[in-house]
Each structure stands twice: as structure tokens, then as C-alpha cells.
Amino acid sequence: MLSVYPAIFYENKNGGYSVIFPDLNHLASCGDNLNDAMSMAIDCLAGYLYDEKLDGKKFPVATSVKDIDIHCEDDEDDDYISSFVNMVSVDVEEYAKLHFNKAVKKTLTIPKWLNDMALNKNVNFSKILQNALMEELGVDAAQLNKS
């Protein structure tokens, strides 16, 4: 499911961009250039929403772009050249599969004869277990590899 939130992008005088999501408790990120800032904004948005989901919280409702006050984050010490509002979108579940789900070590028990036979055939235990778990859970490995 695609999640879309408005973000205010600030072009900094000293280079780079700052990004703030007013709807997400003023969540902030930055990047060395506009492409980097957008990439970091997507990562930031995905991480925030992923944590909210893990905590069992509902995602905040996104404000319409036309209702965002571009100066809501302004401060007298601000040091930026220009600002604009842009929508940032991410499929949180797909992003998490690619970026947040780290491998975890599992200990398992199998009969010695089966272990010996597998070792003689140079079987990759991790790969076999992952494939079996995905089949058991109905996870489409081809879809995971496309993303």
C-alpha cells in the first residue's frame, strides 16, 4: 500500500536540502542535493511509518498539499534560499523488505545423519530454510526479487 505525505523542502544557503514532514511530528531529514534529499525523505518516511506499524499505531492522516503552510517551520535563524512543498510516497512494506529486514540467526535441530548428508552435498542451510519458510507462508520470492 502506497503512503503519501507532504514534505517541505528547504534549499540551504550552504548547500544541500533539508526536508520536514509537518504531519509526522515535524520529522526531518536532509540531503546533499535534491535527489539525495528525496531519497533520504523516502527512507525517513518509510522508517517512521514502519515503526508506527510495529507499535500498532495508525498512520496519521496526510494534509492536502494546498493546505500546507510553507512557512510553518520558519525560524528567525533559518538559513535557506528557497522552499517548496512536494509529496513523498513510499510502499512501506516493500521498502521494509528491501531495507529494514535484517537477517537473524536461528538455531535448529536436525538428525545427525541428515546434517552429514547435507554437508556432503554442500547444502546451503540458510537458503533451504528461507525457501521452505516462504513456501509455507505463501511468500512469492519472485515478487521480492523484482522490488
The reported pLDDT for the residue numbered 143 is 54
- Whole-number Å distance between alpha carbons of 3 and 47: 12
Based on the fold, state whether residues 57 and 128 are members of the same structural domain.
no
% of the chain at pLDDT higher than 90: 52
- Whole-number Å distance between alpha carbons of 141 and 5: 29
Based on the fold, state whether residues 116 and 95 are members of the same structural domain.
no
Query: Is residue 29 a part of any domain in this protein?
Result: yes
Based on the fold, state whether residues 91 and 116 are members of the same structural domain.
no
pLDDT band at 127 (very low <50, low <70, confident <90, very high): confident
Residue partners of 63: CB distance under 8 A and separation at least 6: 6, 22, 23
The CATH code of the domain that includes 61 is 3.30.160.250
Based on the fold, state whether residues 34 and 68 are members of the same structural domain.
yes
- Whole-number Å distance between alpha carbons of 21 and 68: 10
Per the model's pLDDT, the better-predicted residue between 57 and 145 turns out to be 57
Based on the fold, state whether residues 19 and 85 are members of the same structural domain.
yes
Query: Is residue 19 a part of any domain in this protein?
Result: yes
Give the residue numbers spanning the domain of 35.
Answer: 2-99
Based on the fold, state whether residues 42 and 76 are members of the same structural domain.
yes
**The pTM is what?**
0.67
What is the H or E stretch that residue 12 is in? strand 2-12
Is the sign of the CA dihedral 79, 46, 100, 144 positive or negative? negative
Based on the fold, state whether residues 89 and 122 are members of the same structural domain.
no
Query: Is residue 106 a part of any domain in this protein?
Result: no
Query: Is residue 105 a part of any domain in this protein?
Result: no
Number of domains in the chain: 2
DSSP helix/strand/coil, 44 = helix
The reported pLDDT for the residue numbered 108 is 82
Average pLDDT of span 38-54: 94
Query: Is residue 59 a part of any domain in this protein?
Result: yes
